[in-house]
């Protein structure tokens, strides 16, 4: 059996999806349809596929065509949940690009529709397939680090020029995109944060809106997080810093784990907590520490791995690497970060959905971008996507 897949939104990341699908990298899947409201994108699809792939000028027409069993959503952020919900109503499986949506209320409705439909719902958290992050998660879950004390993640390799932001009218606006670096570039990192280290109980954030570019949303953010067990974390990101850095350090009682072009474990021979409580330990001495380079296996990674897993989940019930329901977790962090910055105060997690939605609407009301009105409302969308 082969799964017939349609791509909704044929710009940006859609090109990547069509390449591995048409190259046969997922033998159990075939690309049978694309949808886009931009005639130029549909003409491009015609030149690429001829009549082998059906073309539709709206998501609704594709969903009603009978040409697909499943869809990949590759549209601007606000449109992910409504398109997914309409697909679930038609018993069509969904794999959506990140983020799942812009605000948690919207994504909660998306998850409820998925559960009710019985369809397989996945999210393109392709960085979960990266071996170094899988190894970090394994080390944490196995107890190798002992109790986690703190983490610090600097991820500033998301540099973008002003031209990048000027390329799309919806981009970097509250009305069109719903946020900046936390919404566009960092959903992967926020997902990995919670996937490896769990969800914090509250955060305090500082988001710099238009700090490095002529945009209305944030292009820099610093988040301080606290956990129920006393663990703390700091997350720093920017799209205006070059050359940028990607360094994650996790301090546990058994040592310090560092990833930056590799994975190093500064391993304590004895737990720092046990050593501290030893009455015979000298007052200023540290536990003996060994520097260990953790081997990282070579393995296939990226979008094709997530899509193949999603197809296998549909056909064979394979456990999901990135189930759609988990799209809520990273979004909780970003929504709380925005709210904390706007209110200039601590924000608890789970975030107050009504308050966040209210404050977001205030931002949208002052946005320079106003979404065009289409006859089919939520099912019409622009043919570009976030990258």
Among candidate residues 181, 204, 207, 203, the one with its CA nearest the CA of residue 194? 203
195 has a pLDDT exceeding 80:
yes
224 has a pLDDT exceeding 80:
yes
Backbone dihedral angles phi then psi of residue 30, each to the nearest 5 degrees: -140, 145
pLDDT value at position 137? Answer: 98
What is the band of 379 on the pLDDT scale with cuts at 50, 70, 90? very low
pLDDT value at position 383? Answer: 31
What's the DSSP call for residue 156?
Answer: -
- The vertex-90 CA angle with 88 and 91, nearest 5°, equals 60
Q: Which CATH number fits domain 3-125+302-324+372-379: 3.40.50.720, 3.40.640.10, 3.90.550.10, 3.50.50.60?
A: 3.40.50.720
Q: Which CATH number fits domain 128-293: 3.40.50.720, 3.30.360.10, 3.90.1570.10, 1.10.150.120?
A: 3.30.360.10
376 has a pLDDT exceeding 80:
no
pLDDT value at position 311? Answer: 98
pLDDT value at position 266? Answer: 96
β partners of residue 77: none
What is the band of 372 on the pLDDT scale with cuts at 50, 70, 90? low
Tell me the DSSP string of 194-222.
HHHH---SEEEEEEEETSSSS-SSEEEEE
Domain boundaries, the chain: 3-125+302-324+372-379, 128-293
Residue with tokens 């082969």, as numbered in its chain:
2
pLDDT value at position 208? Answer: 98
What is the band of 384 on the pLDDT scale with cuts at 50, 70, 90? very low
**For the residues 86-102, what does the mean pLDDT come to?**
96
Instruction: Tell me the C-alpha to C-alpha distance, in Å, between residue 266 and each of 123, 145, 148, 193.
Output: 34, 10, 14, 21
């Amino acid at each position: 059996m082969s799964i017939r897949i349609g791509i909704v939104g044929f710009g940006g990341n859609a090109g990547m999806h069509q390449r591995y699908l048409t190259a046969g990298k997922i033998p159990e899947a075939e690309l049978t349809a694309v949808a886009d409201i931009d005639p130029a994108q549909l003409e491009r699809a015609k030149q690429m596929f001829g009549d082998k792939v059906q073309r539709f000028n709206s998501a609704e027409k594709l969903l009603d065509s009978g040409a697909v069993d499943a869809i990949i959503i590759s549209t601007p952020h606000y449109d992910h949940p409504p398109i997914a919900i309409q697909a679930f109503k038609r018993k069509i499986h969904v794999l959506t690009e990140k983020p799942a949506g812009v605000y948690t209320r919207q994504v909660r409705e998306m998850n409820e529709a998925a559960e009710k439909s019985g369809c397989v719902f996945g999210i393109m958290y392709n960085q979960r397939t990266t071996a170094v992050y899988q190894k970090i998660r394994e080390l944490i879950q196995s107890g190798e680090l002992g109790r986690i004390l703190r983490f610090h993640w600097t991820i500033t390799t998301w540099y973008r020029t002003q031209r990048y932001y000027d390329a799309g009218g919806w981009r970097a606006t509250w009305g069109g995109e719903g946020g900046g670096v936390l919404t566009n570039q960092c959903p992967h990192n926020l997902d990995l944060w919670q996937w490896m280290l769990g969800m914090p109980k509250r955060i305090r954030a500082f988001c710099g809106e238009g700090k490095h570019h002529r945009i209305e949303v944030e292009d820099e953010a610093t988040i301080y997080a606290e956990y129920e067990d006393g663990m703390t974390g700091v997350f720093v990101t920017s799209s205006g810093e070059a050359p940028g850095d990607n360094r994650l350090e996790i301090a546990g009682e058994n040592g310090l784990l560092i990833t930056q072009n590799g994975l190093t474990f500064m391993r304590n021979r004895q737990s720092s907590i046990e050593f501290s409580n030893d009455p015979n330990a000298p007052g200023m001495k540290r536990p003996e520490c060994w520097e260990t380079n953790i081997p990282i296996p070579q393995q296939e990674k990226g979008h094709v791995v997530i899509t193949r897993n999603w197809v296998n989940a549909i056909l064979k019930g394979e456990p999901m690497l990135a189930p759609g329901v988990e799209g809520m977790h990273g979004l909780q962090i970003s929504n709380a970060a925005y709210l904390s910055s706007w209110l200039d105060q601590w924000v608890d997690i789970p975030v107050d959905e009504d308050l966040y939605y209210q404050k977001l609407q205030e931002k949208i009301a002052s946005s320079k971008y106003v979404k065009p009105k289409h006859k089919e409302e939520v099912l019409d969308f622009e043919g570009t996507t976030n990258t």
